[in-house]
A and B are shown apart, each in its own frame.
Chain A
Amino acid sequence: MNKTASQLIVLGALACSTQLAVADVSDSDKKAAAKMATEVCASCHGPAGRSTAPTFPMLAAQQPAYLETQLKAFRDQTRGDPDAIAYMWGMASQLNDDTIVALADYFGKQTPAPGRAGSAAAITAGKQIFQQGVPSLQIPACETCHGKDAAGIGAIPRLAGQHAGYLLKQMLVIQNVLRTAPVMHGVVKDLSRQQMEAVAAYLASL
């Protein structure tokens, strides 16, 4: 079995398992999550999870299972990229499981921000990588896991409309193994910065 195929099997299993893990959210938890999202999270992630600064990712319409996984990783200090340490280790430290699920549910239901235009050449190059991968480097097409419209599924995050700067930084921290993401380590290992910028520009435009 080649590397790409084995990566996809792992991802598929991951997506299915985390989809099942998303629990029901009580009305009181929904209300508390909406209050926290408005009064706390919005300071960085913007109203309804639509942030303006690329330091802070868009959370609107993000996959709840992915958000749940990440919030728990922040709380448990197992996601160790610089911004996670500086911002989210503290912010998530006192969150309980119910609040995490409710927050994930809240942001998952928000309307995503529209895509933003970027360099036409970068978007074209990025679209090709997203849809076809880089066969010469055995890099699979991103859409295989993240979906044709980059909306993500389960624990695989939505990338469409995300800030290009945030996406680029995540690829870099994963490549440098500052953020643990088993499948993505193999995917981005040989990507050049230019290729990363192209993919990020394309995804931000969606």
Chain B
Amino acid sequence: MTTTYPGAGGLAVTFRDVVKVYHPDIRALDHVSFDIDRGETVALLGPNGAGKSTAIDTMLGLRAPTSGEVRVLGGQPAAAVAAGRIGGMLQTGGLPEGAKVGELVGLFRQLYRDRRPAAELMRLAGIADLGDRRVERLSGGQTQRVRFALALAGDPELLFLDEPTAALDVEARRNFWRSVAKISEQGTTVLFATHYLDEADANASRIIVVNHGRVIADGTPSQIKAYTANRTLRFTTPAPDPAQLLRLPGVADVLVNGDAVTVRTADADATLPALYGLGLPVKAMEVGGGGLEESLIALTSDDNGAPDHGGTRNAPSLERVG
């Protein structure tokens, strides 16, 4: 049952209508679909509990989806793992007590049949000087880098990184992403989960935004940013009327919470005078920008209702609230 996919070497990941239910009430993944082409560097962006780790775990074969199809490098995740074709850096992961870093790296190089020279591997992960160190004596950031080395040991075709920079300082973080870029240039497909917005923007060629187990936006960083080139107006006014506000020029959607109003507009210069023209007692006006951070808050705000999550790479869509 081999399927031929377009593009060089086909798809790295196919996620088709995947559902993962841990508990009748908890849907970690709720009909998630996306494809990842070979060579892409994709960020899975979302707040804690959005379903990022669950998605990565299913792609690594650590969890079975409740329903739907997960294919990795054209086959079952377990087959890709057994063949040593994928590398994974999990969100949590202690290192085995009593081992030295060099021994651990050596073990993984052997498990992956010496695909990447030890010196290159240690340098890539930034642990060249830690070979003789016992793992118990590593700092959090050093542990993280060792785990990165283990994920790279097999020179994988596909690399999964689940919140990889959580314990790294600024300098280590910069070096980390430089190494990821290098690996990506060598042809490795990279999928990383993060809730650092700047990280997704700076290091991914594509961002999949997830929340509550659903894909709510999928596109290039500039597409996602363009979408929120919109301005956000926040103000308070007694007994606001959403329908009235929605009719203002440029307004995309309106969120009302008691007296607090959030208006998203494509044309703040037109909306603002019209708003004041209504003669409402508007107070505490704030005009927000449209950075990626803003867009993530917008896209994952609980009050936005559940937007369509349909197919892959749909333009992000928000339902009007009013």
Co-complex (A, B): no
Q: Interface on B for A, CB 8 Å cutoff?
A: none
Q: Interface on A for B, CB 8 Å cutoff?
A: none
